[in-house]
Amino acid sequence: MSLIADTIPALYNGVSQQAPMVRAKDQLEGQRNGWSSIAEGLAKRPPTEHIAKLLTTTPTNAMIHEINRDASERYIVIAQSGALRIFDLAGNEQTVTAPQGWGYLASATDYVNDIAMTTVADYTFVVNRKVTVAMKPVGADQVAQPLSNVWINRDRGVDEYGMAYGPGMPAQYDPNLVGVYAGQVQRFDKLPATGTQGDLYAVAGDNTNFFGTYYVMFNGGVWNETVAPNLANAIDEQTMPWALVRQADGTFKFAPFSWMPRRVGDMDSNPNPVFVGRTIRKAFIYQNRLVLLSGETAIMSVTGDLGNFYRTTVVDALDADPISVSATSTKVSIFYDAVPFNDGIMLTSDQTQFSMTNGDFGLSASSMAIKPVTNYEVSIRAGMVAINDGVYFAAERNGYAGIKEYTRLSGQSATSASDITAHVPRYVPAGVRKLIPASDQNALFVLTDGAPGYIYVYQFYWVSGTEKAQSAWHRWYMGDNTQVLSGVYLSGYLYLLLSRGGGVYLERINMQPGVVPSGAPVQVHLDRRVSLTGAYNSSTGRTTFTVPYAPLQSAFQLVRGSSDPTRPGSLIDPSTYQWTTSTQVSVPGNEPALAFGGESYSFKFIFSPVFVRKGDGSAVTTGRLQLKTWQVSFKDTGYFHTEVAPYGAAGQIISGDIIPAKVKDYTGKTVGASDLILNSPLLHTGKFPFQVMGDAQQVVITITNDTHVGSTFLAAEWEGMYFNRARM
């Protein structure tokens, strides 16, 4: 028998589902509503702040997209019920017009899977994945497109930018000129020296251009290259991706985009784009080209002309010409998603990932290369996201989701993606529908239908090109009867769209460390937090607060602001609340004008079982370790609750005996949780020891904080008696 002591040096590496004996010391059995900072320690996560109620009912299968126009203008787009609704990040609904109706969205049923959006500055390309692209009939290219169509060329007097249409300035792309076929010549120099306006000839070519046929028309005294007669040259814009455009007056317009018709060549020399007759999966911008994914092909527009997918001349091959690149794989590889990555694009099918790159001389048909790099089954619903120099995607497996991280290590060309959920293979439920990157936080937020009330959080920190100091998984619980619909991380804030009882709400979390709300002495850890102004009634002797939403009354709390001269930051006793309506609550006395209201949430983590370890760090699995005491190191902490179940989970029956858990509370003044009501909270830094007296392999040690004050934990220590072998 010997006295053993050891240290858990940090608590920021999240949860592990590995066998306890092979876990790292700094990994936990469980963690909820925490934030694992490699610099600050393990703390209670920041609260959500209520912004606005957006919808009165929760939409079914809505597609939610975020528009990040600039630092001051950001919007949320909700596609549902055959229309688009737009809100700014203050919760104000924006005006959306649809001059040609909403017909493009009519065939969508499951908007999450049927609709895709990509935003570039003021333009959001909206793709209906169920619409098949079609061509207009012969002659349609000779008719001007509607003025309400959207175009992305600012110097042509387009109404999106408030410019007037001048005389002789056609809307959108010019119609094709009409010519009269006059015959064929072998070479260009065989054309008549002069011709009649509109004469159209085919130039058959010779061995200098491999007998490539092209067409010219006499116009304005010169021969200009043109298109063959009697062809269907115009793409039907009603079947192509539409555009949602922020206009000069701040409103939005949803209308067809304008697509340039074929103007030169014929079906052999300038064929229709590959997506004609197919559906389009996604649109995005890459190196000043619009890229459309259709089937196994990525189709790129002419450089600088996002609406043109035809060659501008068939006499020469130009680097600016449209490009079509198809997957090279033995499997059927339909492209579902793409993300710019390093020096190219990463594309994914449901089973294979591809890298599409170009050389040092720009993007052209001759410089493009596409090759398969990994073969993982990907959750096509969630897609891929980039964080710094890594790409992340989800893979479903047996009711759970694995998250893959594709990155290039130390400048090498990666051929595999690491499984960052390898140590938590049964942690993230299947049904991943959104990945939210937060690059400056080194974090990834995961939303899944398998646990709609949770946000799964991955935090990481690279210490070198090949080594991580942190790879932490944990989860946040957003409340009973709550569903996390969507989210986006912007400039230090995680914005969340949450379905709560009574509608859909926009809330945000300030992720910057050390933030204190205006008017409060310390951070107030209440979800759906709002600043409230109290109204005192001298006849009743009570102060009434009006909440902008109907909270869960059993979880609602009021905290005094800094304006209280004696008890700033203290909790107004919830047992004294009287609810006069679902949104009005009164409390006794003349409370200060400013208070903070919101719903309490619980921060909780469970330590992993500990072992006696050898010099190399491996666990000793023989003998018995009887823990005596445990000690936690903390900072900036106002309250936490320790619970020890010496023989397993509290309430477990062992040999017919009920072994109650030993419970002990710590506060800054060591007088119990009531201090949070009677006095202003004090944040302390120090160490707190407590007894365990249990078998190290059975004891469960839990730390909890369900109050409005914060707590941060740095490390832990334990002491116990080690028995090398059992004795009779």
pLDDT tens-place string over residues 529-551: 999 999 999 999 999 999 999 99
Instruction: Supply the pLDDT for residue 675.
Output: 55
Q: What percent of the chain has pLDDT over 70?
A: 89
Q: Which of 97-101, 266-270, 677-681, 692-696 has the lowest mean pLDDT?
A: 677-681
Question: What residue has token string 């710590």?
Answer: 666
Query: Which of the following CATH numbers is that of domain 2-41+602-723: 3.20.20, 2.60.120, 2.60.40, 1.10.760?
Result: 2.60.120
Do strands 432-438 and 418-419 pair parallel, antiparallel, or not at all (unpaired)? unpaired
- pLDDT exceeds cutoff 60 at 76: yes
What's the rounded mean pLDDT across residues 32-40?
A: 96
**What letter does residue 253 receive in the DSSP assignment?**
E
Rounded to two decimals, what is the model's pTM?
0.90
| 270-274, 293-297, 451-455, 681-685: the lowest-pLDDT one | 681-685
Q: How far apart are CA 204 and CA 211, in angstroms?
A: 6
pLDDT for the residue numbered 657: 23
- Residue 155 has a pLDDT of 40
643 vs 625: CA distance, rounded Å:
19
Q: How, if at all, do strands 390-397 and 400-407 pair?
A: antiparallel
What is the rounded distance in angstroms from the CA atom of residue 172 to the CA atom of residue 650?
72
Is 89 a residue whose pLDDT tops 70?
yes
Residue in 662, 659, 660, 648 with CA at minimum distance from that of residue 698? 648
169 pLDDT exceeds 50?
no
Statement: residue 700 has pLDDT above 80: yes
> How high is the pLDDT of residue 359?
61
**What is the rounded distance in angstroms from the CA atom of residue 424 to the CA atom of residue 551?**
34
pLDDT band at 273 (very low <50, low <70, confident <90, very high): very high
Q: What are phi and psi of 365, to 5 degrees?
A: -60, -35
Find tokens 């001269």 and name the residue.
565
User: Between 237 and 338, where is the model more confident?
Assistant: 237
CA distances for 185 relative to 188, 198, 203, 217, 266, angstroms: 7, 16, 5, 13, 16
Q: If we measure between CA atoms, which residue out of 618, 713, 726 comes closest to residue 20? A: 618
Reported confidence tier of residue 368, pLDDT bands at 50, 70, 90: confident
Q: Rounded distance, CA 188 to CA 201, Å?
A: 10
pLDDT value at residue 488: 93
Least confident window among 25-34, 69-78, 123-132, 469-478: 69-78
The domain segmentation of the chain, as residue ranges, is 2-41+602-723, 56-172+234-259, 177-226, 526-599
Give kind and range of the element (H or E) at residue 269.
Answer: none
Indicate if the pLDDT at residue 454 is higher than 80.
Answer: yes
Q: What Cα–Cα distance (Å) separates residue 596 from each residue in 182, 313, 317, 520, 528?
A: 82, 66, 66, 8, 10
Q: Which residues of 545-573 are buried (b: 16+ CB within 10 A; e: fewer)?
A: bebebbbbeebbbbbbbbebeebbbbbbe
